[in-house]
């Protein structure tokens, strides 16, 4: 009996293989690389906004870029840290980033309640292009992050799904931002918010099934 048990243990030990520790910086490198690639693709296919080319950039571009990148980076950092359960304390910085990002749609909503903006301010056709391109970029970024998370062991797949969706939506919109020439608060509050919301919903619905262990 003991001999059979020892043989079984030896067989199991022989099948063991060292597991490479996941490093969050590698996950962030993937996210950063895909975001940069998306921005380059946008610039190469659609072009760069004129004020960037001539070096006289509107302040709203920096505000929009900063908020989107802050939200995307904060949620991505939290997401990649979830690949190693029990290591460190889960950061809540992404929540403050989300609150800050919400100021754009909130401001647009308040201004719309005071004075209804004309349809021209919303630019539906341009907005749909913004949504489409941002969505494609978000899909690439989110897919890369999800595949990386599959190598880990997130203990809360649902939360990871929210985070992946928000991160990819924000960074996808940031990639499109290098082309978008519009600085109107109504336009920004609507068309740069929708990709984040859609990304969050899709992330919550799909990602948990892909990374569950």
- Cβ-contact 91, 77 below 8 angstroms: yes
Structure token digits, residue 95: 């929540």
Over residues 81-132, the pLDDT tens digits come to 887 765 445 567 788 888 888 888 898 888 888 877 777 778 889 999 999 9
The candidate with the shortest Cα–Cα distance to 147, out of 160, 156, 136, 158, is 160
How much of the chain is in helix, strand and coil states, percent to nearest 5?
Answer: 75, 0, 25
pLDDT value of position 108: 85
Start-to-end Cα distance in the chain: 34
pTM comes to 0.85
Cα(159)–Cα(181) distance, integer angstroms: 34
Q: Which stretches of the chain are DSSP H helices?
A: 2-15, 24-45, 50-54, 59-81, 93-101, 103-114, 119-122, 124-149, 157-177, 185-191, 194-211
The residue with tokens 């571009």 is: 61
Structure token digits, residue 10: 């030896």
Q: If you average pLDDT over residues 64-88, what whole number do you get?
A: 86
Q: How many residues does the chain have?
A: 213
Q: Which residues contact 38 (CB under 8 A, 6 or more apart)?
A: 137, 140, 141, 171, 172, 175
Distance of CA 93 to the CA centre of its chain: 15
Over residues 153-168, the pLDDT tens digits come to 777 889 999 999 999 9
Q: Which residues contact 166 (CB under 8 A, 6 or more apart)?
A: 71, 72, 75, 94, 98, 196, 199, 200, 203
Over residues 14-37, the pLDDT tens digits come to 544 444 567 889 999 999 999 999
């Amino acid at each position: 009996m003991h001999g059979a048990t020892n043989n079984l243990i030896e067989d199991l030990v022989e099948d063991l293989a060292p597991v490479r520790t996941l490093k969050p910086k590698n996950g962030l490198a993937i996210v950063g690389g895909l975001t940069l690639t998306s921005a380059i693709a946008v610039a190469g296919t659609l072009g760069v906004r004129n004020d960037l080319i001539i070096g006289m950039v509107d302040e709203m571009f920096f505000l929009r870029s900063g908020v989107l990148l802050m939200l995307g980076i904060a949620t991505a950092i939290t997401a990649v840290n979830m690949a190693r359960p029990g290591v460190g304390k889960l950061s809540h910085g992404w929540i403050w980033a989300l609150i800050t990002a919400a100021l754009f749609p909130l401001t647009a909503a308040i201004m719309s309640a005071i004075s209804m903006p004309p349809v021209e301010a919303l630019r539906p056709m341009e907005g749909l292009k913004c949504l489409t391109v941002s969505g494609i970029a978000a899909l690439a970024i989110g897919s890369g992050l999800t595949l990386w998370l599959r190598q880990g062991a997130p203990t809360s797949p649902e939360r990871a799904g929210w985070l992946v969706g928000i991160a990819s939506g924000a960074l996808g919109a940031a990639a499109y931002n290098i082309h978008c020439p519009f600085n109107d608060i109504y336009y920004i509050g609507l068309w740069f918010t929708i990709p984040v919301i859609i990304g969050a919903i899709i992330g919550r619905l799909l990602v948990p099934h892909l990374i569950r262990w």
